[in-house]
């Protein structure tokens, strides 16, 4: 079974400081990894994904994430946080395409990011 852990319910960071939202995963075989963001009263919006290739993935709004296979992690990062980044962030995993099996996304429970002016 695949699973995602987001160990922090909430992350607080000052505007202009770097931010990190942590995610670790468990999946059989190679993973596809995703970050989604949810703003109030909106659906989950795709930020970035790791499928294959470079371990550092760049996504929307200046966010990036680093895939670390040995640590089974996919932490979300941004060099300089903005107040508008305040939202709920979800990490998700699924097994890589193999012609059979489950392709549903498994989400973490989310991390609330608060950027303080």
Partner 1 sequence: EPEVTQTPSHQVTQMGQEVILRCVPISNHLYFYWYRQILGQKVEFLVSFYNNEISEKSEIFDDQFSVERPDGSNFTLKIRSTKLEDSAMYFCARGNRGDPSGANVLTFGAGSRLTVL
Q: Which is nearer to partner 1, 82 or 105 (CB)?
A: 105
CA atoms within 13 A of residue 79's CA, in its CB half-sphere: 3
Q: State yes or no: residue 58 binds partner 1 (CB under 8 A).
A: no
**Shortest gap between Cβ of 80 and partner 1 (angstroms)?**
26
C-alpha dihedral (11, 85, 42, 10), degrees to nearest 10: 0
Q: State yes or no: residue 42 binds partner 1 (CB under 8 A).
A: yes
In angstroms, how far is the first alpha carbon of the chain from the final one? 41
**Shortest gap between Cβ of 103 and partner 1 (angstroms)?**
5
Q: How far apart are CA 30 and CA 101, in angstroms?
A: 13
| Sites of contact with partner 1 (CB under 8 A) | 4, 32, 34, 36, 41-46, 49, 51, 90, 92, 94, 97, 102-110
């Amino acid at each position: 079974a695949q699973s995602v852990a987001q160990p922090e319910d909430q992350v607080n960071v000052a505007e202009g400081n770097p931010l990190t939202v942590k995610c670790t995963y468990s999946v059989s075989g190679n993973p596809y990894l995703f970050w989604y963001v949810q703003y109030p009263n909106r659906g989950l919006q795709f930020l970035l994904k790791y499928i294959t290739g470079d371990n550092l993935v760049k996504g929307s709004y200046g966010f990036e994430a680093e895939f670390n296979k040995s640590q089974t992690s996919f932490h979300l990062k941004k060099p300089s946080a903005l107040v508008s980044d305040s939202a709920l962030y979800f990490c998700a995993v699924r097994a890589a395409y193999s012609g059979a099996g489950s392709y549903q996304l498994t989400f973490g429970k989310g991390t609330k990011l608060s950027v303080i002016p």
